Copies of this chain bind each other. A is one copy, B any other.
Amino acid sequence: MTETTPSKLCDTPRNAVGRVGVLDISARLFREQGYGAVSLRKIAGAAGIKAASIYYHFGSKDEIVVAVLDRGIRVVHDSMRQAVSALPENTGAEAILRTAIQAHLRALLDLSDYTSANVRIFGQVPQPVRDANLPLRRAYEAEWDALLTRLRDDGALKRDVDIRRLRLMLIGALNATLDWFDPDRGSADALSRSYADVFLNGILQRQDT
Report which A residues bind B (CB closer than 8 A).
Answer: 34-37, 93-94, 120, 123-124, 126, 155-159, 161-162, 165-166, 168-169, 172-173, 175-177, 179-180, 194-195, 198-205, 208
Contact = CB atoms under 8 A, between A and B. Distances in A.
Contact of A204 (B94, B124, B195, B203): B94
30 contacts: A34-B36, A34-B123, A36-B124, A37-B126, A120-B123, A156-B204, A157-B203, A157-B205, A158-B205, A159-B205, A161-B203, A162-B194, A165-B194, A166-B198, A166-B203, A168-B177, A169-B176, A169-B195, A172-B173, A172-B179, A172-B180, A173-B173, A173-B176, A175-B176, A176-B176, A198-B199, A198-B202, A200-B204, A201-B201, A202-B202
Contact of A203 (B36, B124, B168, B199): B199
B158 A203 contact: yes
A194 B175 CA distance: 19
A176 B172 contact: yes
Contacts of A120: 123
A199 B204 CA distance: 8
A156 B205 contact: yes
Given A34-B123, A35-B36, A204 B158 contact: yes
Please indicate which of the listed interface residues A179, A200, A202 has the most CB atoms of chain B within 10 Å of its own CB.
A202
Given A173-B176, A176-B176, A157 B204 contact: yes
- Number of this chain's copies in the assembly equals 2
A205 B159 CA distance: 8
Contacts of A194: 162, 165, 169
Contacts of A180: 168, 172
A202 B205 contact: no
Contacts of A202: 198-202
A31 to B, nearest CB: 12
A34 B124 contact: yes
Contacts of A158: 203-205
